[in-house]
């Protein structure tokens, strides 16, 4: 954080990025419950489907791609509010905007930290859910890779909503209204990839589409995120 | 501004709430008459005189409501996003108000497009709804409108709400080409675009002409409702300025 607060504009962008990333990761590891809660939620939502719909293995194997993806999407959604909230409340965000460093890079680093603390563990944990829902072992690879790419897109899009609502007292439901329509395409191609993996079809097309969304998000989302943060802080 | 001649003077005047109120007040009656005439002529022509479809019989006639509303729902979103950009970049208050006025109109037109589509789908496809690309992307458009409206409702500060909603509608703009090309990129149950102005229409001219009348009529109707909402919003937001007080006092 010390590097962020200096007035010199001489910090390179890479250094700035890694400083913010390291700080955000450190902060989330200091509050371990916040780190674990989305993961517990992820497992619990997936548990609801066998209990609520049907415990039949064949049925579960059919719905598993969708269930895992919807659970991952909701878990990401619930954790979005935390990206900017604490920094907004203690005034850090205001200082970041005042600093000569580009806000976009800071936002991108915060999104990356968010993904590393939610999307990445979710993707790595998803085989456990796959086993719970009788997903064929051959589809595990497709599921993990699609979640790895897809959750990063979800974090990027979600940060726009988080930035827009950070200035509001009750942003909870609103953020899902803003972000969920934009999540639908990611969900379609993400769960499509897992379904293709179950059916033994080639996965490259789905990965390419998810990768295209990721590329587009990486390039364009930082503009929208920084604009929305600026609006919320200065408004 | 007076020096540049390639845009008429009234175009710049639209940026001032007061002049915008005056100009829309002058335009409103003619658009109102045009909308009523076109819609009546179009509906009667479409429902009574256009020839029935050789496969779908008379059930195709709902197209005359479905196609214009679907086109208009997307145009309205474009207008909202463009007005949002203008408001963000040039900080023009009237543009913010236009974007604000567009959201509820667009949402109701999107509902209409989806509802007429469902009613049309039941006799032709055998179901009210299918999860194909065109229908889903149109539903996303409705959700985007609702998100924008929710954002306006959640923020008390009007200029902040306008900026935030502009950013959101700009991000959602990515959906518009997806709706447009969904019937070409995916093999959908929904038929490809049948109404274009640039190519030879895919239907006989007796069916196409009433559709054209309906589309233009819908646009006129949209302009009328947009202007009404906009004038309302101008009066509400400028209620502390002198000209509004005079206007109210003179009535």
* Residue where the block lists tokens 């009066």: B235
Return the closest-CA partner of residue A162 out of A234, A83, A75: A83
Question: pLDDT tens, A94-115?
Answer: 999 998 889 999 999 999 999 9
B11: pLDDT strictly greater than 90: no
Q: For residue B53, report the phi and psi dihedrals to the nearest 5 degrees.
A: -70, 145
Q: What is the pLDDT of residue A166?
A: 92
| DSSP-assigned letter for residue B52 | P
Residues forming a β-bridge with B57:
B53
Closest C-alpha among B250, B251, B241, B173 to residue B20: B241
Domain boundaries, chain A: 2-234
Domain assignment of residue B127, yes or no:
yes
- pLDDT: is A153 or B3 the higher one? A153
| B14 inside domain | no
Contact across the interface for A182 and B172, Cβ inside 8 Å: yes
**Does pLDDT of A31 surpass 90?**
no
Q: Tell me if B43 is assigned to some domain.
A: no
Domain presence at residue B187 = yes
A164, A209, A228: best mutation site toward chain B, by most B Cβ within 10 Å?
A164
- A70-97 pLDDT, tens digit per residue, is 999 999 999 998 899 989 999 999 999 9
The answer to whether position B23 is within a domain reads: no
In this predicted structure, which of B48-52, B142-146, B189-193 has the lowest mean pLDDT? B189-193
Of the pLDDT bands very low, low, confident and very high (cuts 50, 70, 90), residue A9 is low
A227 touching chain B per CB within 8 A:
yes
Q: Does B21 reside within a domain?
A: no
pLDDT of residue A133: 92
Tell me the chain A residues in contact with residue B170 when contact means C-beta distances shorter than 8 Å. Answer: 224
B contacts of A182 (beta carbons < 8 Å): 144, 171-172, 174
Q: Of all residues in chain A, what percent carry a pLDDT higher than 70?
A: 95
Is A228 at the interface with chain B, CB within 8 A? yes
What pLDDT is stored for residue B1 in this prediction? 45
First to last CA, chain A: 25
Note whether residue B110 is domain-resident: yes
Note whether A24 and A106 are within 8 A (CB): no
**Integer Cα distance of B170 and B177 in angstroms:** 13
Place of tokens 């102005």: B197
**Per-residue pLDDT tens for B86-112?**
999 998 999 999 999 999 999 999 999
> Is residue A181 a contact partner of residue B172, using CB atoms and an 8 Å limit?
yes
Facing B151 at nearest CB: one of A164, A180, A184: A164
For the ranges A10-14, A154-158, A165-169, B200-204, the lowest mean pLDDT is seen at: B200-204
- Across the interface, of A165, A184, A224, the residue whose CB is closest to B140 is A184
Provide the domain count of chain B. 1
pLDDT band at B194 (very low <50, low <70, confident <90, very high): low
Task: Please give the residue of chain B at the shortest CA–CA distance from A225.
Answer: B167
Q: Which of A180, A184, A231 is nearest residue B160 as measured by Cβ atoms? A: A231
How many cross-chain Cβ pairs, A to B, lie less than 8 Å apart?
58
Considering only CB atoms, which chain B residues are within 8 Å of A232? 160, 164
User: Which residues on adjacent β-strands are paired with residue B53?
Assistant: B57
What pLDDT does residue A5 have? Answer: 52
Residue B52 lies in a domain: no
Residue B55 — pLDDT band, cuts 50, 70, 90? Answer: confident
Write out the residue range of the structural domain in which residue B210 sits: 67-195+204-233
Q: Is the pLDDT of residue A47 over 50?
A: yes
Q: Band of the pLDDT at B184, cuts 50, 70, 90?
A: confident
Closest CA to A144 of A221, A210, A201: A210
DSSP class of B193: P
Q: Does B159 touch chain A (CB under 8 A)?
A: yes
Residue B41 CA, chain-centre distance (Å), reads: 21
CB A150 within 8 A of CB A182: no
Q: Residue A76: what pLDDT?
A: 94
- Pick B87 or A235 by higher pLDDT: B87
Of the partner residues A157, A174, A231, the one whose CB lies closest to the CB of residue B150: A174
What is the pLDDT at residue B196? 67
- pLDDT above 90 covers a percentage of chain A that reads 78
| Predicted complex ipTM | 0.86
**Cα distance from A83 to chain B (closest Cα, Å)?**
18
Query: Which B residues in the span 125-154 are in contact with A, Cβ-Cβ below 8 Å?
Result: 136, 140, 143-144, 146-147, 150-151, 154
Let me know the angle formed at the C-alpha of A171 by A168 and A172, rounded to the nearest 5 degrees: 160
A178 or A3, higher pLDDT:
A178
DSSP-derived 3-state class of residue B61:
helix
For residue A187, the distance in angstroms to the closest alpha carbon of chain B comes to 13
Handedness of CA B237, B241, B243, B248 (dihedral sign): positive
Residue B155 to residue A168, Cβ atoms within 8 A: yes
Cβ of B163 within 8 Å of Cβ of A235? The answer is yes
What band does B5 get if pLDDT is binned at 50, 70 and 90? low
């Amino acid at each position: 954080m010390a590097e962020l607060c200096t007035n010199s504009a001489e910090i390179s962008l890479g250094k700035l990025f890694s400083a913010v990333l390291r700080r955000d990761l450190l902060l989330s590891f200091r509050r371990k419950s916040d780190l674990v809660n989305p993961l517990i939620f992820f497992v619990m939502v997936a548990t609801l489907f066998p209990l609520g719909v049907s415990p039949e293995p064949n049925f579960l194997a059919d719905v598993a791609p969708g269930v895992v993806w919807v659970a991952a999407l909701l878990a990401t959604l619930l954790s979005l509010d935390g990206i900017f909230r604490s920094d907004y409340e203690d005034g850090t965000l205001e200082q970041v905007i005042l600093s000569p460093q580009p806000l976009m890079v800071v936002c991108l680093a915060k999104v990356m930290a968010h993904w590393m603390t939610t999307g990445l563990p979710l993707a790595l944990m998803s085989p456990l859910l796959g086993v719970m829902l009788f997903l064929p072992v051959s589809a595990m690879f497709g599921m993990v890779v699609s979640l790895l790419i897809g959750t990063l897109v979800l974090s990027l899009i979600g940060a726009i909503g988080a930035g827009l609502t950070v200035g509001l007292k009750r942003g909870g439901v609103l953020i899902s209204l803003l972000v969920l329509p934009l999540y639908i395409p990611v969900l379609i191609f993400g769960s499509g990839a897992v379904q293709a993996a179950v059916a033994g079809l080639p996965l490259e097309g789905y990965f390419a589409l998810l990768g295209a969304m990721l590329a587009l998000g990486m390039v364009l989302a930082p503009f929208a995120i920084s604009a929305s943060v600026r609006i919320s802080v200065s408004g | 501004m007076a020096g540049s001649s390639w845009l008429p003077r009234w175009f710049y005047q639209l940026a001032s709430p007061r002049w915008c109120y005056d100009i829309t007040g002058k335009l409103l009656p003619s658009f109102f008459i045009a909308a009523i005439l076109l819609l009546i002529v179009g509906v009667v022509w479409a429902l009574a005189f256009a020839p029935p479809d050789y496969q779908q019989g008379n059930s195709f006639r709902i197209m005359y409501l479905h196609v214009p509303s679907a086109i208009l729902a997307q145009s309205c979103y474009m207008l909202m996003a463009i007005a949002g950009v203008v408001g963000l970049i040039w900080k023009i208050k009237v543009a913010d108000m236009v974007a604000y006025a567009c959201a509820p109109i667009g949402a109701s037109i999107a509902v209409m497009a989806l509802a007429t589509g469902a009613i049309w789908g039941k006799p032709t496809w055998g179901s009210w709804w299918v999860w194909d690309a065109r229908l889903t992307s149109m539903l996303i458009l409705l959700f985007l409108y609702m998100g924008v409206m929710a954002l306006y409702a959640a923020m008390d500060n009007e200029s902040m709400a306008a900026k935030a909603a502009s950013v959101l509608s700009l991000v959602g703009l990515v959906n518009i080409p997806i709706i447009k090309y969904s019937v070409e990129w995916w093999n959908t149950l929904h038929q490809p675009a049948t109404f274009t102005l640039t190519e030879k229409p895919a239907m006989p001219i007796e069916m196409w002409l009433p559709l054209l009348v309906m589309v233009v009529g819908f646009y006129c109707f949209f302009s009328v409702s947009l202007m009404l909402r906009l004038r309302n919003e101008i009066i509400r937001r400028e209620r502390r300025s002198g000209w509004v007080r005079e206007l109210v006092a003179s009535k």
